[in-house]
Structure formats: C-alpha cells, structure tokens
C-alpha cells in the first residue's frame, strides 16, 4: 500500500477526491483554495518557455540533414489539420444526434451577460484574419516572446536559431553544450514542481466544486455527458485507429502516460504536463527533434478536445435559444472554427475566449447564450484537456513513425514494461543521455 501511495498519479487522484469532497462539504472554503491550483500553473509556465526554447534549439542543432526539419514540419501540419477537422466534425455530428439543448427554450433577452464580459472583451483582442495571424508569428523581441509564453513566436525564433547552430557545425558545439546543461537544470526544476501536483489538484477541484456546485452538473448534465462521450469516442476510435496504424497499443500507451493524464485531470490544463511529457516521449523512442517540434506546436495546432467542445457548445447554444441553423450555417461554423481554434489550447479559460470570438464573428448564434455554459464549462475542461494531451502524445508518436524517426523496438519495450522509461526516484538527479540525431527506421 505504501508503495502505491508514493506514486504521483495516486497522490493526484487522492487530491482530486479530497478536493471534490471539500467543495461539497464546505463550498466557501473550497472556493478560497483556487490559488493552490493557480500557483502550480504559474510554476509550470515559469519553466515552460525555457523548456520549449532549449529543446527545439537542441533538437534542430543536432540534425544532420536540414531537409528533415521541413519534412517533419510539413507532415505535422497536415496531421494536425486532418485531426482537428475530424474532431470538429465528430462534435458537430454527435450534438446534432443527441440534441442536448433542445427543449430548453431560453430567452436570450433575459440572460445576464455580465458574467461573460471578461471573455468577450478578451476575444476582441485576438488577432483576426490570416494576415494578422502570420504577423503575430514573428516576435518583436525574443525576450518579449519568452516573457509572454507565446508558443508560436518562441518556436519561430528557436527554429531559426537551431538551424543557424546546425550550419555552424563544430564552432557551435560549446553553445550546444551550454543548452544541454541548461535543459537538464530546467527539467530538474520541473521534477521538483511536479511534486506539488497533488496539492494543486486538491485546490483546483475544491474551487471548481465549491464555486459552481455539483448542482450545475445536474442542470446541464446532458451536455456534459454528451461532451465526455464524444471525447471518449474520439480517443477510442480515431486515436485508437492512428495508434494501431502506427504499430502500438493505445491502451498500453495511456498506461504509460497515466501520471500526466491524472495531473491534467486535477489541473484542467494540458500545458501543465508538457515538459515531462516531452521527456517521456524521448525516452520511449521518439527522436528529440520530433518531440521538440511536434509537442509544443501540437498545443496550438492540434487541440482535439477543444475542437470537439467548440462545435458542440456552439450548436448547443443555438438549440437552447431556438436559433435556427441550416446545414450551410453549421458547415460555416465548422469552417470558421478550423481557423479560430488554432492557438486556443493549453490554459483553462482560453477555449471560452475563442468560442466567444467565433460566435461574435459569425453573427448568427447569440454570444449571450454562452452564459448557459458557465456553470459546467470548468467541469468539461477536464475532458478537453485530457483529450488534447492524449491527442498530442499519440500524434507525436504517429508523426515520428511517419517520418522514420521512431525507435519502434524501444517503444515496444517501454510500453510492455521491459524497459523503464522514466524512473521516478532518479528523474530529478540523473542526466538524460545525449539525444541522438534522427533515427531512420523503415516504415
């Protein structure tokens, strides 16, 4: 028993259960514990930008062939767009079949929109259109990009810097060694921070249940159940199919990343596990360059759980407010979300802002109807974040297999338990072996 209690995922589960219990028994106290979860997310964000920057630079600097970089990037973007479309379409299909909002007959004129004012104001500040999106990719200063944790801007500069170091060859070796030592130090900090995950899960769940109450789940239970069912279908059917095509078992893979999934469950943020997920995937046989490029960019371009939520939430609001939508209207919603969903995943609350921006740009579905989602949005965020994390992890392995950068034997050994990919007792003290260049494996 004591051996199991030492496992991080067990501690996180205990924290989640204790948080829910406290939120039910003492809602006021539970609501006051929100800072516990917020501090943990801030600690992760503190090391998030350095991890992404150093990992991408190291991965590219060690690549012997720059053509591989373009090949990995192009195939990753294709994969992300296809999977995002599948997720949006699945959400649209299920919400039309189940119709969770039908019969609510909500009068938009009587809705109090004060509670969503912050989200609608924030949505107005988001870049609009393709040109603005492209301009926003280029940082005015790398210091500014790192300070804001802007994933895309960090990726752009890190990619350029990594290519430059690769071209310099032996002359850049001292800088590469510095980045290697820096990365080891940052990952040691991550290992220390992760010990606080159970406390963060306890505070986050106590706040959620204490503030919104379990009653909100009952009131909008059909929507919540539909959302969780759709995410489960997406993981089992779509991601399960991709895993089979890539030559590994989805169930074994989920067991392999269970600690990360339970942490996401407690914190409702897929961003909270990115550093340790990257480390695990590297040790499971995915090459460092692929991990460095795909995992961070997947947060922005491959938010599968968010995409499911967007189409379901948009159509739910239309159903609840008796807003008529033609098939063409719904296809338009899907098309707009294909663009607006990019850059929305990672942190709790970002999905609500993106949904507000999308509904406002369409002008068909009342933005005021988002008030209906407030009570259960936080409860649904766990499903979104977990689906995002699984989708990103499976996608990284699939893309690595696609480009021939996956050590398939190593992955099989790790998933079958023949090799321990990340010993808990030594992760914070033993340096990782030097990352190899991309391993060419026959498809």
Ordered DSSP codes for 407-441: -HHHHHHHHTTSS-SS-TTTTTTSPPPPPPPPPP-
Q: Is residue 254 part of a domain?
A: yes
The pTM of the full predicted model, rounded to 2 decimals, is: 0.76
What pLDDT is recorded for position 429? 36
CA distances from 300 to 254, 293, 315, 327 (A): 22, 12, 23, 28
Which tokens in the block code for residue 109? 């004129």
What pLDDT sits at residue 415? Answer: 92
| CA nearest to 191, candidates 60, 54, 395, 51 | 51
319 found inside a domain: yes
Cα–Cα distance for residue pair 239/19, rounded to 1 Å: 31
| Number of domains forming the structure of the chain | 1
Mean pLDDT, consecutive 10-residue stretches, the chain (443 aa), reads 74 86 88 86 81 81 72 87 91 91 72 54 50 75 83 83 85 87 85 86 84 68 89 94 94 92 84 86 89 83 87 89 86 80 52 73 78 75 89 94 90 85 41 38 36
Residue 425 is assigned to a structural domain of this protein: no
420 domain-assigned: no
Euclidean distance between CA atoms 197 and 127, whole angstroms: 33
Q: Is the separation of the CB atoms in 264 and 391 below 8 Å?
A: no
Write down the pLDDT at residue 43.
Answer: 85
Residue 437, pLDDT score: 39
Q: Does the residue 191 lie in any domain?
A: yes
Look at residues 374, 384, 375, 338 and name the one whose alpha carbon lies nearest to residue 358: 338
The pLDDT assigned to 159 comes to 84
Residue 438 lies in a domain: no
Which of 194, 192, 217, 200 is closest to 18 using CA atoms?
200
pLDDT at residue 441, rounded to an integer: 37
Q: Which two tokens stand for residue 353?
A: 């802002």
In a domain, 432, yes or no: no
Question: What confidence score (pLDDT) does residue 87 get?
Answer: 92
Residue 105 pLDDT:
73
In angstroms, the CA 89 to CA 78 distance is 17
| Residue 275, pLDDT score | 85
The DSSP bridge partners found for residue 221 are none
Alpha helices per DSSP H over 62-105: 66-98
Chain position carrying tokens 């960019």: 297
CATH code of residue 150: 1.10.3860.10
Looking at residue 8, its pLDDT comes to: 78
Retrieve residue 185's tokens. Answer: 């130090």
Angle among Cα 312, 237, 356 to the nearest 5 degrees reads: 20
Look up the domain containing 400 and give its range. Answer: 2-415
Contact between 430 and 103 under an 8 Å Cβ cutoff? The reply is no
Residue 430 belongs to a domain: no
């Amino acid at each position: 028993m004591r051996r199991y209690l030492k496992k991080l995922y067990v501690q996180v589960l205990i924290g989640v259960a204790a948080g829910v219990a406290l939120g039910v028994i003492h809602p006021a106290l539970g609501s006051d514990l929100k800072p516990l979860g917020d501090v943990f997310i801030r600690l992760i964000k503190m090391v998030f930008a350095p991890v992404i920057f150093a990992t991408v630079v190291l991965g590219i600097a060690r690549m012997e062939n720059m053509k591989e970089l373009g090949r990995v990037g192009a195939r990753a973007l294709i994969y992300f767009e296809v999977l995002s479309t599948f997720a949006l379409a699945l959400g649209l299909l299920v919400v039309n079949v189940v119709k969770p909002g039908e019969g609510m007959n909500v009068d938009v004129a009587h809705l109090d929109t004060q509670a969503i004012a912050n989200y609608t104001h924030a949505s107005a500040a988001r870049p609009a259109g393709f040109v603005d999106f492209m301009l926003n990719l280029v940082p005015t200063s790398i210091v500014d990009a790192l300070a804001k944790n802007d994933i895309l801007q960090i990726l752009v500069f890190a990619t350029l810097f990594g290519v430059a170091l690769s071209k310099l060859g032996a002359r850049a070796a001292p800088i590469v060694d510095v980045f290697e030592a820096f990365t080891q130090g940052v990952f040691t900090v991550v290992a220390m921070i992760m010990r606080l995950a159970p406390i963060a899960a306890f505070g986050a769940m106590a706040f959620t249940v204490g503030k919104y109450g379990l009653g909100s789940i009952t009131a909008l239970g059909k929507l919540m159940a539909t959302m969780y069912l759709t995410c489960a279908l997406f993981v089992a059917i779509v991601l399960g199919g991709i895993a089979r095509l890539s030559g590994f078992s989805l169930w074994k893979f989920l067991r392999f990343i269970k600690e990360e999934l339970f942490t996401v469950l407690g914190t409702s943020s897929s961003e909270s596990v990115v550093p340790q997920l990257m480390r695990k995937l590297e040790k499971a046989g995915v090459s460092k360059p692929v991990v460095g490029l795909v995992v961070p960019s997947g947060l922005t371009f491959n938010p599968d759980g968010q995409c499911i939520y967007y189409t379901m939430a948009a159509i739910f609001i239309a159903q609840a407010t008796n807003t008529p939508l033609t098939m063409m209207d719904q296809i338009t919603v899907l098309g707009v979300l294909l663009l607006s969903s990019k850059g929305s995943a990672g942190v709790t609350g970002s999905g609500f802002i993106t949904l507000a921006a999308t509904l406002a740009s369409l002008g068909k579905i009342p933005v005021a109807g988002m008030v209906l989602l407030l009570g259960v949005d936080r409860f649904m965020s766990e499903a979104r974040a977990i689906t995002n994390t699984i989708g990103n992890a499976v996608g990284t392995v699939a893309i690595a297999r696609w480009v021939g950068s996956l050590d398939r034997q190593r992955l099989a050994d790790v998933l079958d338990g023949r090799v321990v990919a990340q010993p808990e007792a030594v992760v914070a003290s033993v340096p990782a072996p030097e990352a190899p260049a991309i391993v060419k494996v026959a498809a």
